Amino acid sequence: MLNARTIDDLARWFRASARDLPWRGPIGSPRDPWAVLVSETMLQQTQVSRIAERFPLFMRRFPTPGALAAADQREVLALWAGLGYYRRARNLHAAARLIVERFGGAVPRTVDDLLELPGVGRYTAGAVASIAFGDAAPIVDGNTARVLLRVHGRATRPDDRAARAWLWDHAARIAAAGARGVGAGVVNEAVMELGATVCLPAPAAPRCDACPLAPACAARRTGTQARIPLPKGRAARQTVHCASAVLVDGAGRIVLQRRAEGGMWAGLWQAPTVERADRAPTRAELARALGLAARDLHARGTFTHATTHRLVRFDVYRGAAPRRWPRGAHAGDTDRARVRPDQLDAFALSSAQRRVLRLALGGALSARRERAAAAPVAKAATYARS
Ligand code: SF4
């Protein structure tokens, strides 16, 4: 257990070394609970540098739960573009609506109430309760688990049931000690920051010489940092095969379709795509689904995209978009649009689909998008229905 003096050292280090991030003000100053909820939701499984770009845009458009609750889901997903894992955006949208309906538009302050919000688990509830409201609520994520296991020299998997119980219990004691002194939010955020910037995961080496917990750290004392924690167990990933057709019309517009709600990348936009679980769809199958001739689709390459639970293998084709869709052409879409390259940022596309477009359109896409980057983001409503 970290003692009061070590916690003070940790807090001092955090005040001096915390990264300047758009969702943080001066350390220890009051924080907007909505901004904490949004940033903590974005931080799950996404790089900080990406969030630093998107968070200010998102908060400018949705500065309160009420503003997000009143928005159309397509706009919400478009503003989430680049962050991936769009289920989080849907959950945040639903959470905003619940905050308006049940909590009068103010983010609830207790862990129990926060846990009622869609997409809010024990970690996010603890982060909001401690950082925004100063409650002695514990947090455990990958970063904090690594720090605590190393400090205590526990060579175990962080997802092991007994280790999870120990971590939550220990985190609760640290938050309580923080609440008696430097503040529960400060100490919680300090452990997170230490894990993200100093106590780095293998194969990187932790920067023990710069660590405020070094005098108390068992892993450092025994030289076992690289062996703690043990790697998590991994379930076998399912393989999915996709064939995507990037179709461009005479005006240079790209055909996008919206995926059905539910399942992988639900509701996101994509180049028309056919998928199978057993084998790669053939060019003929893709062409037939679109009402085109197979000879009109030209192979542009393949790649494999790994998600947490799946390996998705893409075969990418390029072709000319028909003026009109033949009767029966569907490729599983619920909605279709023709989009100029400079409008793509207004569409919620998975990172895999951005790669599909890059592969098919190459330099033409990057040059146009670079020009578009200097212009204001196009509104989703201005694309042409296809
Ligand atoms: S001393 Fe090294 S291993 Fe221990 S907590 Fe600090 S950075 Fe991590």
Could you tell me if 248 and 328 are in contact, meaning their C-beta atoms sit under 8 angstroms apart?
A: no
Query: Ligand 1 pocket: which residues have CB below 6 Å?
Result: 147, 150-151, 198-199, 206-208, 211, 213-214, 217, 219-220, 225
pLDDT on residue 354: 92
The residue contributing the CA closest to ligand 1 atom 2 is 208
Of all atoms in ligand 1, which is nearest to the CA of residue 218? 4
Distance CA 86, CA 267 (A): 9
The residue contributing the CA closest to ligand 1 atom 4 is 217
pLDDT on residue 376: 36
DSSP-derived 3-state class of residue 231:
coil
DSSP-derived 3-state class of residue 298:
strand
Closest to 189 (Cα-Cα) out of 149, 143, 153: 143
For residue 306, what are its two tokens?
A: 């790994």
List pLDDT tens digits, range 339-358: 998 888 888 898 899 999 99
Amino acid at 336: R
Of all atoms in ligand 1, which is nearest to the CA of residue 213? 6
Distance CA 275, CA 166 (A): 43
pLDDT on residue 3: 84
Q: Please, which pLDDT band fits residue 10 given cuts at 50, 70 and 90?
A: very high
List pLDDT tens digits, range 121-175: 999 999 999 999 999 999 999 999 999 999 999 999 988 899 999 999 999 999 9
pLDDT on residue 232: 81
Could you tell me if 167 and 76 are in contact, meaning their C-beta atoms sit under 8 angstroms apart?
A: no
Of all atoms in ligand 1, which is nearest to the CA of residue 146? 8
Distance CA 84, CA 350 (A): 6
For residue 171, what are its two tokens?
A: 């985190």
Pick the CATH number of 4-227 from 1.10.340.30, 3.30.429.10, 3.40.50.720, 1.10.3470.10: 1.10.340.30
Q: Which CATH class is domain 238-385?
A: alpha beta
Q: Please, which pLDDT band fits residue 377 given cuts at 50, 70 and 90?
A: very low
Could you tell me if 170 and 163 are in contact, meaning their C-beta atoms sit under 8 angstroms apart?
A: no
For residue 3, what are its two tokens?
A: 């003692």
CB-side exposure of 371: number of CA atoms within 13 Å?
9
Closest to 342 (Cα-Cα) out of 374, 310, 381, 385: 374
Amino acid at 247: L
Q: Which helix (H) or strand (E) holds 190?
A: helix 184-197
Alpha carbon of 168 to ligand 1 centroid (Å): 19
Q: Please, which pLDDT band fits residue 386 given cuts at 50, 70 and 90?
A: low
Alpha carbon of 142 to ligand 1 centroid (Å): 14
For residue 199, what are its two tokens?
A: 């106590």
pTM of the model: 0.76
List pLDDT tens digits, range 284-332: 999 999 889 999 999 999 999 988 788 999 999 999 998 876 665 554 4
Mean pLDDT value across the chain: 89
List pLDDT tens digits, range 174-195: 999 999 999 999 999 999 999 9
CB-side exposure of 28: number of CA atoms within 13 Å?
11
pLDDT on residue 142: 93
Pocket probe for ligand 1: among 10, 144, 146, 150, the residue whose CB has the most ligand atoms within 8 Å is 150
Distance CA 146, CA 219 (A): 11
pLDDT on residue 324: 75
C-alpha separations of 17 from 13, 24, 25, 189, 212 in Å: 6, 13, 13, 12, 11
Distance CA 93, CA 80 (A): 11
pLDDT on residue 45: 79
Could you tell me if 314 and 305 are in contact, meaning their C-beta atoms sit under 8 angstroms apart?
A: yes
Strand 310-320 with 238-248, pairing: parallel
Of all atoms in ligand 1, which is nearest to the CA of residue 212? 6
Query: 3-state DSSP: the chain helix, strand, coil percent, rounded to 5?
Result: 50, 15, 40
pLDDT on residue 334: 56
Alpha carbon of 376 to ligand 1 centroid (Å): 44
Phi, psi of 236 (to 5 degrees): -65, 140
Note if 275 is an active site residue: no
List pLDDT tens digits, range 17-76: 999 999 988 887 889 999 999 999 999 878 888 899 899 999 999 999 999 999 999 899
Closest to 225 (Cα-Cα) out of 192, 193, 197, 203: 203
pLDDT on residue 106: 98
Alpha carbon of 146 to ligand 1 centroid (Å): 9
C-alpha separations of 185 from 17, 104, 120, 176, 192 in Å: 16, 24, 17, 10, 11
pLDDT above 70 (res 383):
no
DSSP-derived 3-state class of residue 75:
helix
pLDDT above 80 (res 201):
yes
Q: Please, which pLDDT band fits residue 375 given cuts at 50, 70 and 90?
A: very low
Alpha carbon of 217 to ligand 1 centroid (Å): 6
Catalytic residue among 40, 75, 189, 275: 40
For the chain, which residues make up each domain, given as ranges?
A: 4-227, 238-385
